[in-house]
Amino acid sequence: MSLLVVGTVALDSVKTPFGNVDNALGGSATYFSTAASYFTDVRLVAVIGEDFPKEHIQFLKSRKVDTRGLEVQKGETFRWKGEYGFDLNEAHTLATDLNVLATFKPNIIDDYKGSDVVFLANVDPEIQLDVLKQVRKPKLVACDTMNYWISSKPEQLKRTLREVDLLTINEAEIRQLAGEASLVKAAKSVQAMGPKTIVVKQGSYGALMFHGHSVFSAPAYPLETVFDPTGAGDTFAGGFMGYLANTMNFTENSMRKAVIFGSVMASLNVEAFSLDRLRSLDYKEIEGRYREFKKLTHFEDI
């Protein structure tokens, strides 16, 4: 079924202990839609500048991502520059040049308005809410956010949260949003703000999904080397939402499988810089990694 993502398309310059790239393809909507494209049709809404390399658009099209929602504006594309030390769970932002993103007002084209599943990547919560006003009753709405919006626009973020079914958020951020150190209590408190399902992203420790009263714990895949963690959270969300949009099954069991597919995609993505690992995956590699997750976590009944 159809999956709409609204987020950023960016040119990233990233340095890790294992190498560096300059102006490589990046952005939340890019990682998300590439990962999701292995599971379902994706409609991408984002803004780019006139300098955005055509080859990147060609790549997204080659993944059958619908790029009619990719708006080209006068000016330069959004750029992010960051660095990671040996603790790859934490990015150090060196520069953020919003450029065309500064004035972005997503316009959802008619063909996208009936999308079954919507993912609002980490952008201004007012923009997230504005997108929801443009679409017609999607079956599942999910959003992401970050510390910047929790601090600067808490009321606007809470208004958005009232309208979403599912929130993806990292550990430090959910603690900040709830004002509560215990993850379990923080999740309950945020569930009361709106989203009945919360996926807490824990970087190299995996993810915890709070779904109604149940909790699901998924590990991260233990990799020898993480080359570049950029986009891991959005890639996770892409695999997760892509699987859900494909099956349109939102039961507990299906959502748990979706968390594993998200973890699979994230674990593959961090094995190379930018989106290089996601460019030409074979679906068999995805299934193989899913089975590895099963082996990694299996233990017998009592």
d(CA 215, CA 212): 8
Residue 20 CB, nearest approach to a second copy (Å): 17
Burial label for 231, CB within 10 Å (0-12, 13-18, 19+), is: buried
249 near a second copy, judged by CB under 8 A: no
Half-sphere exposure of 295 (CA within 13 A, CB side): 8
Question: Is there a contact between 78 and 8 (Cβ–Cβ < 8 Å)?
Answer: yes
Sole binder of a second copy in the list 94, 102, 184, 192 (CB under 8 A): 184
Contact range with a second copy by CB under 8 A, out of 57-65, 102-110, 143-151, 214-222:
214-222
Interactions with a second copy, residue window 17-76 (CB under 8 A): 17
Quick one: which H or E segment has residue 106? none
Q: Rule CB under 8 A: say whether 298 interacts with a second copy.
A: yes
Question: According to the binding rule CB under 8 A, does residue 86 interact with a second copy?
Answer: yes
The site that binds a second copy (CB under 8 A) totals a number of residues, namely: 40
Nearest-approach distance from CB 179 to a second copy, in angstroms: 11
Taking the complex as a whole, how short is the minimal distance between the CB of residue 217 and a second copy, in angstroms?
A: 4
Give the integer Cα–Cα distance in Å for 46 and 70: 5
Nearer to a second copy, 147 or 297 (CB): 297
* Binding of residue 283 to a second copy (CB under 8 A): no
**270: DSSP letter:** T
Tokens standing for 215? 């909790």
Based on CB atoms, which residue is closest to a second copy, 55 or 300?
Answer: 300
Nearer to a second copy, 102 or 184 (CB): 184
Please tell me the distance from the alpha carbon of residue 200 to that of residue 183, in angstroms, as a whole number. Answer: 9
Measure the CA–CA gap between 3 and 33, rounded to whole angstroms.
9
Q: What is the dihedral of CA 221, 224, 228, 231, to 10 degrees?
A: 0
Is residue 282 part of the contact set for a second copy (CB under 8 A)? no
Among 55, 110, 282, 300, binds a second copy (CB under 8 A): 300
Residues in contact with a second copy by CB under 8 A are 17, 86-87, 181-185, 202, 205-206, 208, 214-219, 222-226, 253, 256-257, 259-260, 287, 290-291, 294-302
